[in-house]
Structure 1
Amino acid sequence: MRYLNLCAAVLSNPERVMGTVCCCINKFATLSNIRSRPFFSSHFPSHHFPSTTTSINFSIASSSFSSATSSFTWDDVFRISESQSATQDRSRYLQGFSHKLQLCNRASEKQSEFLPFVIEDHVVGFIHNGFVEHLRDFGDVFVFPIDKNNGGPYGDFVSLHPTLKTADERTSAVGYVVERLGEEQIPGIRDELYPVTSSFGAPIFFSLERAAAPYFGIKAYGVHMNGYVEVDGQKHMWVGKRSDTKQTYPGMLDHLVAGGLPHGIDCQENLIKECEEEAGIPRSISVKAIPVGAISYMDIDGYRYKRDVEFCYDLKLPKSFLPKNEDGEVDSFKLIPVTQVAEVIRKTEFFKPNCSLVIIDFLFRHGYITPEYLGYLDLLRNLRIGDCS
């Protein structure tokens, strides 16, 4: 009888019945695909992620609120942050954190598409073959030595014209190229210079427009500060929501204070400056920020190769402190228990990606992530998976 009823339904309304059947099949296929999908993508070298962790399913770590856009509100943040499980499955708890490392370390298998950028026998960056073609129009600024015999230390590479001998000459010449390429090739130009060096503290070969840094694959440094308050023995963290008008990551969650490290200023002074501009923290308080280490990552996205190192700071703030943004880059701030901040990072992509890494480092150092969780050492090690030098 059921068979006859089904046949009658198909004959009377075949499109509706078959649509329902196809929908069910698609849902089953999607679920099967999710269950079989490995948690870590092939972007990570196998020696960084052993097989004991690569088999974890990503579907467990994500949630329906996993979004890299600004289409969420503080109500969404608090609703998710407060939805903690009564018990934590120690075999799967760290998966959401590990996914955030993956978001900052994509496409390492595409490194072969980049040529070394060499100055005075030092590799200072990596430039994509496609972007190199734009630079060939500026033969008085860039040269492109070819290793015909495959005997050189770099193979084919990009360098600056030998007539550009001083840092000022190089800065001016490359700045002219960046200006000529303009927003079409290098979007987000902001007239802020980053030092070009082989490693932190090494001699500076020249300075480069900040927006161009990933297109030349230079190391870029920054400072990130965890601003927290203790209330009844529980740590709370100040979290900012970026302005919707920001050029990068508009509307996403951010640290209380963070910023790139431009040319001509050291880490502490830069942090003090950012504290005043971004959160209205006076120097009398910001000088108490404690340097606690660094995180690093390497991310490839098209022609962009980000090789970033972020210096991390902790600042315990007085309970009476209320942040006030002074530069228009932050929409609002909220004080959130650290345990709930951790849940937002685990379950969503609301935070600016590199902020998640710095906060995960905070969770390690303050005892929120312990060795009892599966994948503890993998996660700890991969907070510095990039060239941290």
Structure 2
Amino acid sequence: MIETFTYEALPIRVRFGRGAVAEVGAEVARLGARRALVLTTPQQAGEGERIGKLIGENCAGVFPGATMHTPVEVTDKALDALKAADADCVVALGGGSTTGLGKALALRTGVPQLVIPTTYAGSEMTPILGETQEGRKTTIRSLDVLPEAVIYDVDLTLTLPAGLSATSGVNAIAHAVEALYARDRNPVISLMAEDGIRTLSSALPILIHEPANIEARTMALYGAWLCGCCLGAVGMALHHKLCHTLGGTFNLPHAETHTIVLPHAVAYNAPAAPEAMAAITRALGAPDAAQGLFDLVRALGVPRALSDIGMPADGIETAADLAVENPYWNPRPVTRDGIRDLIARAYSGERPVAAVPAEEAA
């Protein structure tokens, strides 16, 4: 039975296909911009220069300083570069770090954004910005940060390393997973979520062994788009809150943090979201949602423990305190003891468990 729901489509233009980046100049012109500043990470500066040449005379230069978790001090430097170049548009090339920087600049100046993803982060499809200041990551949701246009070019993902393909892809899966049990979920997004999980979970194991497989790359990028749409359309819950807390507090790599935490967050919420768990198991072809996700991560050969990506052991208690500091919606009540146990298991890389804490069972 379909219950009453609300669905609101976001105003964003998408171009998808091999070689689509050749149209970047036309897309910049379509935004009405005359000077576009290209944003990249330091590692992708050379690719940013290539994009600048494709834009042609409307390119205002390249700012190659984007970094993970969108620290405000980096945004301030980019804002200075934007003003110095007299730019009236940004073209963000890369993953979540670059997309986040573009959103931060749009929030402060109102410049339109064109995003060219080279990973499966999905943030290009969302009106969500997470920024970090003094070790704390805060998140806002506003149409002011929603990119106006996105170019998905499969060819740009062919050089994405296998490990980063895996963690970036599981990060995208996390968006779809939480969309399935979101408070404002709806049938349209749930369909996209299940298909996104199915598509990515099928493509990622192939990419680990065949990183240049065009069909698998195409399916992975398509799945990432589906999952990004889910993230942009409905609210998130425990998993995203926890990953933002861990990443911002301990400066952990974003995609890897999502990859490690996801099976444990799903196990925590499983007793309160049976319909979502059924959809996840269908998409994965596994008998259990949390165990299926853990086995997927294991098969991909990427880190499964927070201790392996730089989190200190004494950070477990700190993270548990921060995770319950500000109340937020979740299908299952968020308790400190329950979250502390979740983080501890993710820290050590143990298999997830769905046992109900004593305080809830009483």
TM-score (norm 1): 0.29
Structure having the higher strand fraction is: 1
Structure having the higher helix fraction is: 2
Please say which structure displays the higher CA radius of gyration.
1
